[in-house]
A and B are shown apart, each in its own frame.
Chain A
């Protein structure tokens, strides 16, 4: 994009400006740490109440981590765009002709970092609450899984968050649109995490097949999102 004085602004600068802005606002307002994180933790505890069996809990721990992550994803995405629509900043970005694909990546990376922080806490919670064992090999698989799955979730979340930003009834529309799309991430990340935990006698090696699927998902929606984001939030 060219600015008024005719010099070109590098895409990376826009990405980093948006990224730093989102992270700084989170550090100030602490919505994720003070509201979403306790919510996700509560979900984990409530699952323990509902299932009420240590063996079952250990078996399903991986699925519960990712389900809690998905529920939190909706809240984080909504918060991420509420920041931008509260005082018309998203409008201003459009009026200023800022490269919206760069805005997409900036917001997606910020979202991914928040999600990773959340997932780390949830995984630690699962180890403590559900008595999951984690080997060194399993840890490598788990870290890879978290990175790949989170990128995919962040891209899809930013894309559909942009679509519903400012729309009436977005609180209910976002989950309706997002849940079917993230189903592959839920399946793949859960299986990979089960393999990492060794739940139900799963081998670590079984998990790596799923990492491929997660990578494809992240790539597809990273490319698709950067192409589509601009036209979705434009009037």
Chain B
């Protein structure tokens, strides 16, 4: 590979290293405080500690999809159709799907401990599960064959449609539960009496996870850029090879 690639072969910069180091420190604090320093809950006991992972990852998952939607809209609206928007949309969705999986797994484990069930047909849970599947579909659309522009246009449109779809899904599930099940599901966060340290740990978790999210998206976006660059470089040599076909005959 030629020089342009070598110059950019690392995806780290000073900024990402600072973000990475900070997030390690914050996450270390969250682990220590969440597992050792914070008290157990009166009702939930030790299981309340799942909250320090579950709530931040849910927040990140939703943040990621909002970010994907904004980046997709920017791509559609901008005159230049800069591929940077598309890469950010894709990177954010990938990271978002991962955090959504963490949210669903930790959520159902927590649910087993507090409700006695892995799953409740609670509107929030159900919508989250649908969001998860929808964005797995979004990632599948990104992998469809075609040119870079085609990928960007298709996936931006699908991301916009998902923005239309999710409120409809959420509203219909809310309406469904409200008509058919009187009892409301326990709200796991509302039941916890939080002292200052718990609140601070939760807040640190949100900050730490957000830093991890930013770090992951930046790196993922840059690896995507490198793939595009490599393809472009490959294109130069491919063009030479293609032109040589003529003289070979």
Asked whether B168 lies within 8 Å of A217 as measured between CB atoms, the reply is yes
Asked whether A213 lies within 8 Å of B165 as measured between CB atoms, the reply is no
List chain B residues, Cβ under 8 A from A176. Answer: 133, 136-137, 140
List chain B residues, Cβ under 8 A from A177. Answer: 137, 140-141, 158
Tell yes or no: A33 within 8 A of B by CB. Answer: no
Shortest distance between the CB of A91 and any CB in chain B (Å): 14
Tell yes or no: A187 within 8 A of B by CB. Answer: yes
Asked whether B171 lies within 8 Å of A228 as measured between CB atoms, the reply is no
Minimal Cβ-Cβ distance residue in B for A152 = B168
List chain B residues, Cβ under 8 A from A163. Answer: 141, 154, 157-158
Tell yes or no: A56 within 8 A of B by CB. Answer: no
Given that A187-B173, A206-B179 are contacting pairs, would A168 and B164 also be in contact in the complex, using a CB cutoff of 8 Å? Answer: no
Tell yes or no: B169 within 8 A of A by CB. Answer: yes
Chain B interface residue count, Cβ-Cβ cutoff 8 angstroms? 28
Q: How many A-B residue pairs have CB under 8 A?
A: 75
Given that A176-B137, A221-B164 are contacting pairs, would A232 and B172 also be in contact in the complex, using a CB cutoff of 8 Å? Answer: no
Given that A176-B136, A176-B137, A232-B154 are contacting pairs, would A181 and B165 also be in contact in the complex, using a CB cutoff of 8 Å? Answer: yes
Tell yes or no: B219 within 8 A of A by CB. Answer: no
Shortest distance between the CB of A27 and any CB in chain B (Å): 32
Tell yes or no: A183 within 8 A of B by CB. Answer: yes
Given that A163-B141, A168-B145 are contacting pairs, would A209 and B175 also be in contact in the complex, using a CB cutoff of 8 Å? Answer: yes
List chain B residues, Cβ under 8 A from A231. Answer: 153-154, 157
- Name A's interface SS: helix
Given that A224-B164, A228-B157 are contacting pairs, would A180 and B133 also be in contact in the complex, using a CB cutoff of 8 Å? Answer: yes
Asked whether A184 lies within 8 Å of B145 as measured between CB atoms, the reply is no
Chain B 142-201 residues near chain A, CB threshold 8 A? 144-147, 150, 153-154, 157-158, 160-161, 164-165, 168-169, 171-173, 175-176, 179
Chain A 177-235 residues near chain B, CB threshold 8 A? 177, 179-181, 183-184, 187-188, 191, 206, 209-210, 213, 216-217, 220-221, 224, 228, 231-232, 234-235
Tell yes or no: B134 within 8 A of A by CB. Answer: yes
Asked whether A180 lies within 8 Å of B145 as measured between CB atoms, the reply is no
Asked whether B161 lies within 8 Å of A228 as measured between CB atoms, the reply is yes
Tell yes or no: B130 within 8 A of A by CB. Answer: yes
List chain B residues, Cβ under 8 A from A173. Answer: 137, 140-141, 144
Q: How far is the CA of A214 from the CA of B130 in the complex (A)?
A: 18
Minimal Cβ-Cβ distance residue in A for B161 = A224
List chain B residues, Cβ under 8 A from A191. Answer: 176, 179
A residues neighboring B (CB under 8 Å): 159, 163, 167-168, 173, 176-177, 179-181, 183-184, 187-188, 191, 206, 209-210, 213, 216-217, 220-221, 224, 228, 231-232, 234-235
B residues neighboring A (CB under 8 Å): 130, 133-134, 136-137, 140-141, 144-147, 150, 153-154, 157-158, 160-161, 164-165, 168-169, 171-173, 175-176, 179
16 interchain pairs, CB-CB under 8 A: A167-B145, A173-B137, A173-B141, A176-B140, A180-B130, A180-B134, A181-B165, A183-B130, A187-B172, A187-B173, A191-B179, A213-B168, A220-B168, A224-B160, A231-B157, A235-B147
